[in-house]
Amino acid sequence: MLIEYSTQQLMAINFESPFQQVLQQQRPLLKSLNKAKKWQLWLSDRPMLKRSWVNTAGLDKNKVIHLTNLNNENLISTIEKALQCKTCSYVVACINNLNEQDKVRLQHAVSLSDTCLLLVHDEQSEQSIQYH
């Protein structure tokens, strides 16, 4: 996490990856889900989760699994399978382009599971927000 700009009224924070942002902003939720004796699955198209972030968040690193190099189609299928197996306390997936069919598939899979699903958007290719 890098603080790009700071004043008394405004602090702009630049996270290294969407996963770092999830670990920072959803820490209480993730810590409560960390108590279950289940896996914690992180899915993305490229490496974007650092072990030091997991440690700082207070999560059990032995339960955390990070699968990378998944294209969109494989990512949706992997999420569905993880939700169906019910062996994860939560799944965090970084996905940019969800079509309506994929949304329906994921909504159906979530409705049949007791696993928490967090979808995050990777804005790496988009312009950063400028504050004036």
CATH number at 29 reads: 3.40.50.300
pTM of the predicted structure, to 2 decimals: 0.82
Q: Is residue 7 part of a domain?
A: no
Give the tens place of pLDDT for each residue, 78-115: 999 999 999 999 999 999 888 999 999 999 999 999 99
Q: Is the dihedral of CA 86, 78, 62, 60 positive or negative?
A: negative
Which residue has better confidence, 89 or 129?
89
Confidence of residue 130 (pLDDT cuts 50, 70, 90): very low
Q: Is residue 129 part of a domain?
A: no
**Residue-range definition of the domain harbouring residue 39:** 19-120
Q: Is residue 11 part of a domain?
A: no
Q: Is residue 6 part of a domain?
A: no
Q: How far is CA 123 from CA 42, 52, 56, in A?
A: 17, 22, 23
CA separation for the pair 57, 73 (Å, rounded): 30
Number of domains in the chain: 1
CA separation for the pair 93, 40 (Å, rounded): 11
To which residue do tokens 């790496």 refer? 124
Structure tokens at 41: 């699955």
